[in-house]
């Protein structure tokens, strides 16, 4: 068992005395508040966010130009690199650079562990709802792998249920295409939970395709998958149905199409040998 893990509560309480963990980290007051050159601040290696919306940063940058940075960043001293290391406030730091600022207000935290840096970076982003579900899942995974946290401990520190933590971690087992769709907002976490309940990765990808092509909401997706686990794989998109219908009218004959897994099976109905001959002749 990692000895540092038992210090989680104590570490956070020492950083945020007499405050609950869900309070805004930037409201913490510290006697070490000052200003630092932007060039002296290195990145937080435990930053859970990997995507920063450019429009959002530009809006924040314009606000900083007009009003300045209202909430200081949080940094620690990295003695090995001879620089300060960012703990919390990556969006503000990036926006400040866009705004052309040379210095930013900071709170310097001394004797802070890597564990606490990871916790604070994750908590700050969750508080601001800045993390997409995959980033959040990766943040939880980091706490598990780097600091031996259990799902129960993560849930307790972030004021979540253990089942919520478990569901979020399951997103990392989804196929890359599903993770990307969740990251980009093509599907919701409700969709992702349903897809995660399907065993076969190929089936999961097929359900994703069905959701995106047919704009299925969570309830519709749940009904399709619940009715028959593989039925979602066998749904024909409206575009294909339209093509087949046009083909049927052009032939003046009934054409049927069905889907079985990844196979499309199209059936032409003939009522005489003459019709068959006429059709085959038209293909030559």
**Is the same domain home to 230 and 272?**
no
Whether 256 is a known active-site residue: answer no
Judge if 21 and 106 occupy the same domain: yes
Domain span at residue 207? 187-234
Distance CA 191, CA 211 (A): 8
How many domains would you assign to the chain? 3
In a domain, 169, yes or no: no
Helical axes 90-98 vs 54-67, angle rounded to 10°: 70
Whether residue 60 is predicted with pLDDT greater than 90 in this model: the reply is no
Most confident of the ranges 52-61, 120-129, 185-194, 232-241: 185-194
Per-residue confidence at 126, pLDDT binned at 50, 70, 90? low
Whether the per-residue pLDDT at 33 is higher than 50: the answer is: yes
Residue 137 lies in a domain: no
Lowest mean pLDDT among 6-15, 52-61, 200-209: 6-15
Residue 212: alpha-carbon gap to chain centroid = 17
Share of the chain above pLDDT 70, in %: 80
Say whether pLDDT at 22 is over 90: no
> Are residues 62 and 44 part of one domain?
yes
Q: Give the residue from 234, 250, 267 where a domain finishes.
A: 234
Summarize the confidence of residues 146-159 as an average pLDDT.
85
Six-digit token string for 182: 């969740």
Examine residue 93 and state whether it is found in any structural domain, yes or no: yes
Least confident of 158-162, 236-240, 265-269: 236-240
The yes-or-no verdict on residue 8 having pLDDT over 60 is no
**Residues β-bridged to residue 163:** none
How many beta carbons lie within 10 A of that of residue 48, not counting itself? 26
Domain boundary among 86, 102, 125: 125
Largest CA distance in the chain: 94
**pLDDT value at residue 23:** 34
Residue 145 lies in a domain: no
98 and 27 inside one domain: yes
Residues with Cβ within 8 Å of 8's Cβ and at least 6 positions away in sequence, in order, are 115, 119, 149, 153, 157
User: Do both 117 and 197 map to the same domain?
Assistant: no
Which of 54, 79, 90, 153 is an active site residue? Answer: 90
Dist. CA 162–CA 178, nearest whole Å? 23
Average pLDDT score over the chain: 78
246 domain residue, yes or no: yes
On whether both 25 and 114 belong to a single domain, the answer is yes
pLDDT of residue 229: 52
Do 114 and 193 lie in one domain? The reply is no
Is 170 domain-assigned?
no
Average pLDDT rounded to a whole number, residues 190-212: 88
């Amino acid at each position: 068992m990692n000895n540092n893990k038992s210090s989680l509560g104590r570490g956070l309480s020492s950083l945020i005395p007499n405050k609950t963990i869900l309070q805004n980290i930037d409201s913490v007051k510290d006697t070490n508040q000052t200003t630092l050159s932007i060039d002296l601040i290195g990145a937080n290696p435990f930053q859970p966010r990997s995507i920063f919306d450019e429009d959002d940063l530009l809006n924040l940058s314009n606000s900083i130009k007009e009003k300045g940075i209202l909430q200081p960043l949080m940094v620690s001293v990295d003695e090995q690199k001879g620089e300060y290391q960012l703990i919390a406030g990556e969006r503000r730091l990036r926006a400040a650079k866009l705004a052309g600022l040379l210095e930013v207000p900071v709170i310097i935290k001394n004797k802070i562990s890597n564990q606490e840096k990871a916790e604070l970076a994750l908590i700050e982003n969750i508080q601001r709802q800045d993390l997409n579900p995959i980033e959040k899942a990766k943040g939880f995974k980091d706490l598990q792998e780097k600091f031996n946290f259990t799902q129960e401990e993560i849930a307790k520190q972030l004021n979540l249920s253990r089942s919520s933590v478990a569901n979020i971690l399951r997103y990392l087992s989804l196929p890359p295409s599903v993770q990307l769709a969740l990251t980009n907002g093509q599907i919701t976490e409700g969709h992702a939970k349903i897809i995660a309940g399907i065993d076969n990765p190929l089936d999961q990808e097929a359900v994703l395709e069905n959701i995106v092509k047919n704009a299925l909401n969570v309830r519709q997706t749940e009904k399709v998958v619940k009715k028959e686990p593989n039925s979602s794989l066998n749904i024909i998109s409206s575009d294909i149905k339209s093509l087949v219908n046009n083909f049927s009218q052009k032939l003046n004959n009934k054409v049927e199409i069905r889907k079985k897994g990844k196979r499309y099976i199209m059936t032409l109905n003939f009522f005489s040998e003459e019709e068959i001959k006429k059709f085959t002749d038209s293909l030559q």
